[in-house]
Amino acid sequence: MVDDFRDCLEQRLIELGIEPIVGDISKFVENRLLFYSNELNQLFENNGYVASYVYYLFYDEPLTPAPTRNKDLMKLFPFQFTLMHMLKFLREAMLSVFS
């Protein structure tokens, strides 16, 4: 299932024409999936963690290979609140489906 998602994502990125921007699409997708997995772990395991890198990739520079922190707390706090609410909803939905 993950491979199907990755294949569809890679195909869509090629169709959108971002390959010249990011280089190797497969490597870009693999790195991004790993990055988001690590960020999710941080959010769930570290109570004080702020998703500033995720914000940066969502809103500042989505195609950058090397994200940095967004330091604008006026943007980060509402984003963090909404992100955590969404993740809680997704976690509960997944538990209800896979339990």
Q: What is the pLDDT of residues 73-99, one digit of tens each?
A: 999 999 999 999 999 999 899 899 987
pLDDT of res. 16: 84
pLDDT of res. 38: 96
d(C-alpha 91, C-alpha 46), whole Å: 17
- What tens digit of pLDDT does each residue of 37-69 get? 999 999 989 989 999 999 999 999 998 888 999
Q: Which residues, 6+ apart, have CB-to-CB distance to 19 below 8 Å?
A: 13, 25
Q: How sure is the predictor about 2, in pLDDT bands with cuts at 50, 70 and 90?
A: low
Cα distances (angstroms) measured from residue 91 to each of 20, 45, 61, 67, 74: 36, 14, 27, 26, 27
